[in-house]
Amino acid sequence: MSQISQEWQGYQRADGRKGIRNLVLVVYLVECAHHVAREISYPYRKMGVHLAGFPGCYPNAYARRVLGRVCTHPNVGAVLLVSLGCESFDREGLAQEIAASSRPVELLVIQQAGGTEKTVRQGRAWIKEQLAILAQTPRCPMGIADLTIGTICGGSDATSGLTANPACGVAFDLLVDAGGTAIFEETGELFGCEDDLIRRAITPELGQVLAGSVEKAFQYYTTLGHASFAPGNAEGGLTTIEEKSLGAYLKSGSRPISGLLKPGDVPPRPGLYLLDVVPDGEVRFGFPNIADNAEIVEMIACGSHAILFTTGWGSVVGSAVAPVIKVCANPETYRRLKSDMDVNAGEILLGKADVSAVGRRIFESIIDVAGGKSTISERLGHQEFILTYKAFEPLGPACLPLT
């Protein structure tokens, strides 16, 4: 059994942070460069080369900030940027930000490089060179206090709030108690939990900010005329968004909440944080998040080394940059999709384990993955990544009261 005091070897970054993976990231800066970037990365997809990017041509401050955080994430050792050339993305600024983090960075502009084939050849040559260099990255002792872990639920059913989500909450309590950092989100699935958020906030002012983030989500969904409640949720036995919210909330555990983050905000110190993923300002977008992976990307932008993904119906997705640990809530789903799941929380329903034991198992899985063990989604080659348009205002002073 893994011990809370366990240490492992991480990857030392020049900014003092430590990574649990040592990746080369290939980043397209507009959808028109997506194919070329994918062709560059494809031969190396099983060698620690991941693909990410932003499809839009019109500039967006949120996307620029998130992509900057992703490119300088502690799991990333080198970055290749692929631009078409005429898009509006601030490619030079992003390259300078990456270089300032002391990571190797190369910028290829397809229109200047001579087209698809020439750009692919140049990109692959650079990656091959960087993989050899990254093999020499200094290793360093790393422990739980160095970890940031995010959590999300997707494909939820009636079992999610009974098994996987509360077990994840136990794992989060263990993580926070050991000095680590935990991030939960989905403010659109916290309706009815406002009083408890206020109670757990470390200051009254933060409590009001947390409740306000949920109210913003409620107003956003009210304007759109729907909630974060899919037909599959109902088919799986959930009856209302409030019932789904109570189950989703359990992933956060029971420890005090230290602050509110927005995408790209890195927690200033260990503790438990709520990530606000619903855009600020007037309603401009059809959906606050169009897929679970959009929220995963935002937690990665906040520094999450790995993600706990609880699922009842059975989601198979993983992610670029940060390993995804799948926790299956439903024993029948686990039976059918065992080859995609890391932890079987459905044993709780069968009476084979209790919530505390499964929570400990999840916590131990975090340590194992941080120490280098591949998650199932990693072994299967899942590297999903999605980034779209949003808008956020900077944090106010009440959001991080101890800074």
- How far is it, in rounded angstroms, from Cα 312 to Cα 344? 11
Of residues 242 and 161, more confidence is placed in 161
| Section 231-260 average pLDDT | 76
Q: How far is CA 174 from CA 54, 164, 362, in A?
A: 35, 15, 10
Residue 265 domain-assigned? yes
Does residue 195 form part of some domain?
yes
Residue 3, sorted as left (phi over 0), alpha (psi -120 to 50) or beta, turns out to be beta
Structure tokens at 88: 């509006």
pLDDT at 238 over 60: no
Better pLDDT: 80 or 237: 80
Q: What 8-state DSSP symbol labels residue 324? A: E
Q: What is the mean pLDDT of the chain?
A: 93
* Final residue in a domain of this structure, among 81, 111, 136: 136
- One domain, residues 368 and 270: yes
Structural domain containing residue 213: 144-379
Nearest to 76 by CA among 55, 94, 56: 94
The residue out of 116, 136, 156 marking a domain boundary is 136
pLDDT digits (tens, 9 = 90+) for 169-189: 999 999 999 999 999 998 988
How confident is the model over 244-252, as a mean pLDDT? 79
Of the candidates 136, 161, 187, which is a domain's last residue? 136
Q: What is the pLDDT of residues 136-164, one digit of tens each?
A: 999 999 999 999 999 998 877 888 888 99
- Residue 214 makes CB contacts below 8 A (sequence gap 6+) with 187, 190, 191, 193, 194, 197
- The answer on 241 and 334 residing in a single domain is yes
Res. 2: pLDDT tops 50: no
Using the Cα atoms of residue 280, residue 285, residue 287 and residue 292 in order, give the sign of their dihedral.
negative
Cα four-point dihedral sign 63, 154, 305, 186? positive
Global pTM reads 0.95
**Domain count for the chain:** 2
Between 194 and 239, the more confident residue is: 194
Tell me what pLDDT residue 189 has.
Answer: 82
Residue 232: both structure tokens together? 């599959």
Average pLDDT over residues 10-20: 95
**CATH number (domain holding residue 94):** 3.40.1400.10
Residues 104, 127: contact at Cβ < 8 Å?
no
pLDDT band of 59, cuts 50, 70, 90 = very high
Do 310 and 250 reside in the same domain of the chain?
Answer: yes
